[in-house]
Amino acid sequence: MAKLQIFSQVAITAKDAIATETFYTQYFGFKRARVAKLPDGAQIVFIKAAESAFYLEIFQANEASPLPPATNDGYQFPSVRHLAFKVDSVDAKLAELGDAVKITLGPLNFDDYIPGWRTVWFADPDGRIIELSEGFVDEENPPPLPS
C-alpha cells in the first residue's frame, strides 16, 4: 500500500471566487499559491494556509445550489458537515471577523467533554459552515476502533 504523504487540500466551489479567496486570505492567513488556467477559460485558484502544506482549491460555480443553505453546525445528512480552524481565542477571532460572518451556532463551551474547548460556527461568503475552536486537544488513550 502506498503511504499517504499528507492531507493536501479541500476543493470548494464558490458563488464569487474572488470574494471567497479574499475572505480566506484576509481572515485566515491563506495566500495565493497557484492559478491553473483551464482550456475553457476558467481557472482554479489554490490558496495555501500559512505555515502549512494545506490548500483550499477554489472553483467558480457555474450553477446554483440545489440545497438550502446549511444551518447550525452544518448539514445533518452524509456530506461534508463543515470546515474547521483552531484559534487561540474564539472571542478575539469573532471580534476580528465582525460583520464579515453570520454566526449560525454558538459560541458554545464543551468543558463537559474536553476542558477548555470552546467553539462557534458561522457561514462564509458562500454559506459554507465554518467552525472556529479553541482548546481542543487529542485524547491521551482513545478507545480503539470497534472490529
DSSP character string of 73-96:
TS-SSSS---EEEE-S-HHHHHHH
Q: For residue 87, what is the domain's CATH number? A: 3.10.180.10
pLDDT of the residue at 2? 80
What is the pairing mode between strands 118-123 and 129-134?
antiparallel
pTM score of the predicted model? 0.89
Length of the chain: 147
One domain, residues 95 and 130:
yes
pLDDT along the chain (147 residues), means of 10: 82 95 96 95 93 92 93 92 94 95 95 91 94 92 92
Residue 71 lies in a domain: no
Residue 145 covered by a domain = no
Backbone angles phi, psi at 50, to 5 degrees: -55, 140
Q: Is residue 47 part of a domain?
A: yes
Number of domains in the chain: 2
The candidate with the shortest Cα–Cα distance to 62, out of 126, 22, 18, 14, is: 14
* DSSP state, residue 42: -
Has residue 56 been placed in a domain?
A: yes
- Max Cα separation, the chain? 53
User: Which structural domain range is residue 93 located in?
Assistant: 81-137
